[in-house]
Structure 1
């Protein structure tokens, strides 16, 4: 539609000086109609997006409702079959009693009418439950299709994150064995850099080797603008006493995280809106602080890369 509008606009500009006023006005009217149609289509698209809003939570409820209704239908079917068998037995009794007593016949006839009324009610209930089951089945199939689309989208995001992890691993291959690891978990990429690569003890100034590692990481992140970047600072459990201006390990970890953000911001291709710095202090260890090796592993910077899930969130709202 946009191409049509552009073509008509171009036609208006190129021909306005060499066609009759009527043709020019006709073209202007068509252009206005097409713009109006484009706005309507855009509004329709937004309405359709909004209409998809209630679905994954409803899908599970619908599945439960479907299974409950199916169980109720099966119970009604069982009751129906038992009642019909009882009616057949009573009809047989009726034939036998018909020769013996008019009173017994009248009583049996009354029971027959009651059973017939029960059968009719159960038939109606079964019919209603079958119709409801069919409707639930159709809704379940529609939501299942949306869930399949969601799974495809998530798989695509996971593949993109795997590709990003591989690119980061290649970019930082020179720092392997120097306290740097790259791994992918739960749809995210985690880059862990021990302090021996980045900082002197008690300092938040990044050394030359650490700066080079962070800059090389930044070159990969600059090529992935749809990734949220969380930089977390971590310490061991030894209380920090190196600078009276800092309030312990938590402040030190936050300072170190902010120092990494400052280096990444030197790369102008990285959107600062994607960056978050956080200090975790000693409260998220990855090893025991009972040994020097464990403490070294806990003194680290973690860069956590998360795909932006706007499209997935929309689809979740639509399920």
Structure 2
């Protein structure tokens, strides 16, 4: 990869969710999962191709040795054939001279010479047949050798391409993980005034989660953010203002105790209103593009603790601010390769 492209990767690996619609957010999230699966598949294919490549190299070496042996055999047969032809020619001339001088009387000596000449001719024919077969086999082996060499070159090229794509995927995912760790530390440092019983900052599925307890942000059944909660959100907004490529999903969560008011129909309504309230405060306290933030209400349907205890319900009443890198440009760069 060119240095300019590596810089682009490093700059753009700072957000995974799409701008506003939750569907687009889910699509990009699925794309990251698909790329991790492709990375695993490429790693497996690469290992398999390395084995095939090694076997093909062994077969190529065997064919080279076989062709060398056939070339030597063919050369030896050709020399023998040439010598036999010369000897046959000499004997044929001697026999012709002998017949000419014998005035048609064929003696035992001439019969013996004739038989020797016939035997030599048969040997010559066999050697010529063997030479022909050797030359034909050599041509076939040379063709196989050329095909094996072409296959090896093709496989090595494919292996190089797979290795390059494998490297790019590993680099992109590693770069994203490193940046998300740095982002987690930055957010955590900005929120040191708040205790672990009020909020928690952690990484899950490659994203930074800021999980805020209900008591930090809201009174029971309310969606109006408290003054302390505004202070915490202002600090987060300050980080997001600096990290312009980070996209945000604000999720409101409630417990499973039924709730209804004159304004709200149920817990789902309450979780949506809380998410939008947090979103507005983030936008008010930082120079953040509204297109970077998605507000979603999850009601009681995504609990962190499904038991029916008061402590479990307390954990479930939370607001999560999910920060994630936008890998669209990274994926486009990888697709181009």
TM-score by length of 2: 0.61
Match for residue 24 of structure 1? none
Return 134-143 or 210-219, whichever deviates more: 134-143
1:254 aligns with 2:236: no
Conserved 8 A contact 1:150-1:312: no
How far residue 128 of structure 1 moved from its aligned partner, in angstroms, is: 1.5
CA distance 1:158–1:261, change in 2 (3 Å): same
Distance 1:112 1:304 in 2: 79
Written as runs of structure 1 = structure 2, the 5 A alignment for 1:300-319 is: 300-319=318-337
Distance of 1:115 and 1:303 partners within structure 2: 78
Partner SS state of residue 174, structure 1? coil
Q: For 2:223, which of 199, 204, 210 is the aligned residue?
A: 204
Which of residues 211, 217, 228 in structure 2 aligns to 1:192? 211
* Kept after mapping to 1: 8 A contact 2:180/2:208: yes
CA-atom RMSD in angstroms: 4.4
1:299–1:122 Cα change, 3 Å = farther
Q: Which moved more, 1:161-170 or 1:64-73?
A: 64-73
Give, in whole Å, the separation in 2 of the partners of 1:201 and 1:233: 14
The answer (yes or no) to whether the contact 2:56–2:152 under 8 Å persists in 1 is no
Residue matched to 2:187: 168
Q: Which residue of 1 aligns with 2:42?
A: 60
Q: What is the Cα deviation at residue 154 of structure 1?
A: 3.7
Asked if 1:227 corresponds to 2:209, the answer is no
For the pair shown, which has the larger CA radius of gyration, 1 or 2? 2
Superimposed CA distance per residue, residues 232-282 of structure 1 (whole angstroms, 9 cap, x where no aligned partner)? 11122x243322543422222122111110111103511111100111222
Post-superposition CA distance 1:44-99 (Å, at most 9, x none): x9xxx9xxxxxx869939746675566567568779999x99xxxxxxxxxxxxxx
Unaligned runs of 5+ in 1: 1-44, 50-55, 86-102
> Is the 1:227–1:307 Cα contact (8 Å) retained in structure 2?
yes
Matched, 1:286 2:268: no
Equivalent residue for 1:216? 235
Q: Classify the secondary structure of the residue corresponding to 2:305.
A: coil
1:317 Cα offset (Å):
0.5
Whole-Å separation in 2 of the counterparts to 1:153 and 1:191: 24
Task: State the shift of 1:112 in Å.
Answer: 9.5
Alpha-carbon separation, structure 1, partners of 2:162 and 2:56: 23
Question: Does structure 2 retain, via aligned residues, the 8 Å contact 1:73–1:126?
Answer: no
**Residue in 2 that maps onto 1:297:** 315
SS of the equivalent of 1:173 reads coil
Change (3 A) 1:132 1:280: same
Q: Which whole-Å CA distance do the structure 2 matches of 1:206 and 1:125 have between them?
A: 77
Does structure 2 retain, via aligned residues, the 8 Å contact 1:154–1:312? no
| Cα distance change of structure 1 residues 247 and 113 upon mapping to structure 2, 3 Å threshold | farther
**1:213 CA drift (Å):** 1.0
Higher RCO structure, 1 or 2 (CA under 8 Å, sep 6+): 2
Size of the alignment, in residue pairs?
261
Instruction: Please report how far the alpha carbon of residue 231 of structure 1 lies from its aligned counterpart in structure 2 after TM superposition.
Output: 0.7
2:281 corresponds to 1:263: yes
Tell me, what secondary structure is at the counterpart of 2:193?
Answer: helix
Separation in 2, partners of 1:317, 1:81: 42
